[in-house]
Structure 1
């Protein structure tokens, strides 16, 4: 489905547009030194959603935010896309923008799947991996039957356009959410999320089949330090989607898969955040995210 990003024709409030993969893509960098930390957003999120933790990481090393094609301030693309398309695009973008390898990739949710795939494809260019409540290819296979049925129904649904009344009703909560963001990006992010609320839905439609298959069929992860953070706290979106008992089962399965993922590499570690939800763990527990990134940088530099 073509996604018309409402801001694609507008200059980004931070960063600039680079030509990569046949499209203009937004990239913003701060700090200096290496390895560079590159944030890969979750579905429905964009690079500037991570600007607060990005600024703290930039005190330690070069920190990079970017928008995938079809999201944020990058040019439109048909959604969903394959992991190969996304990781090839990011590889080109980092080279075009002059961000030298190796990288510490910080991938969140869907971005965690893309971070893994990037490391599988370009193992010599990755110095470490932070996977923040990442998608795992076996989540559907391990999920309760009711989850599979609901996912199948949701996959075939078309989301309606929001009415002006619905958008305005959402404005207050969205503004409240972004009140701690820097003034320069606060208003653009509010307007973006009010206009592009369906983007994450379309971006994740091939997650449980095509992207999962790409992860299964790719080479093993390189022997680099890996930290997996599982967000087990309350998440408003997930609480709205799933009944409480079913969500508990989903989270139990997720915790087990994340532990297995961390154990799949020699230098993997699994940490559980009981007080952070899936969607905004980097805001709810920035200390844990920053600590993990700091440890990965120290290991990569020695």
Structure 2
């Protein structure tokens, strides 16, 4: 979408994109879908680390046929201006809350989050619990990630070398974005590395802060609907390992460390993701057919179907 001046958009009825100012910073927002009826849930998409709102464009395009759906670039990502440091999840969640208030986009919200976005969504749940009608976790990480079995990034980077991750993983062929959106999402990455690094540097403290809220024990969502969509990041790591080994990238020790990681990583990720089901008594677990970590890119129709199903569930209990 071509950005429009923010003041020309009614975020509850118009379609398009523009900027919303929070604390003197311009944050990029895009929206699709029919005009909102009073009390009707809206969908808010939260991307993972290193990703912009483009990553949701296929989901927005399809889901926008039946629901109002928003995506945005976090501070310092894509077209949004930088925010203060440290870039902790709690800070980003407060930014989202302020953004929605500034744009006059009230709840109820259905949160759809990917990867690290799952931690941000749960911090948002902490500060706006009453406004969250449901959550869809798309291959998300949790507060257990860094302390349990994190990806060995140094070894992964060495084995990848100068190879094209998107081509090697197969996602470039499988992805369902428009050619323009896919190209733009790739072009954003080099300029977003500083923010990616800032968020990466704050992951551990973000996980510790979230863990301290004991959301699993408290079952903080009650009986509100929750869905966990499980992808498969390990198949991408294995593809990198095999291609990197063939290219002679990394040392034998680095390749061995990465290979050892792939033997148990997906079981660990599944255990983490299933634990999120404890947040609600009304939860379900779905496995993506084609794997991949970015399910919203490889299988947007699955994410859209889960959005539609959740809206029907909300309507049945009088929330939609």
Q: Normalization by structure 1: what TM-score?
A: 0.79
Output aligned runs, 1:1-302, within 5 Å.
15-32=17-34, 33=36, 34-78=40-84, 80-143=86-149, 150=152, 181-182=177-178, 185=181, 187-197=183-193, 199-207=195-203, 209-218=204-213, 220=215, 221-223=220-222, 224-232=224-232, 235-236=235-236, 239-240=239-240, 243-273=258-288, 275-278=290-293, 280-302=294-316
Deviations 1:182-212 (A, max 9, x none): 46645543422244345434322221x2111
Separation in 2, partners of 1:274, 1:141? 29
Match of 1:5 in 2: none
Q: Which runs of 5+ in 1 are unaligned?
A: 1-9
| Distance change (3 Å), C-alpha of 1:287 and 1:180 | closer
The structure whose Rg is larger is 2
CA RMSD of aligned residues (A): 3.4
| Distance change (3 Å), C-alpha of 1:265 and 1:84 | same
| Distance change (3 Å), C-alpha of 1:275 and 1:80 | farther
Deviations 1:110-133 (A, max 9, x none): 111111111122111101000111
Question: Is the deviation greater in 77-86 or in 247-256?
Answer: 77-86
Give the number of equivalent residue pairs. Answer: 275
Shift of 1:257: 1.7
SS in structure 1 at match of 2:210: helix
SS in structure 2 at match of 1:99: coil
Separation in 1, partners of 2:189, 2:264? 30
Separation in 1, partners of 2:126, 2:74? 19
Shift of 1:277: 1.2
Q: Normalization by structure 2: what TM-score?
A: 0.74
Q: Which runs of 5+ in 2 are unaligned?
A: 7-15, 242-256
Separation in 1, partners of 2:95, 2:295? 26
Shift of 1:142: 2.9
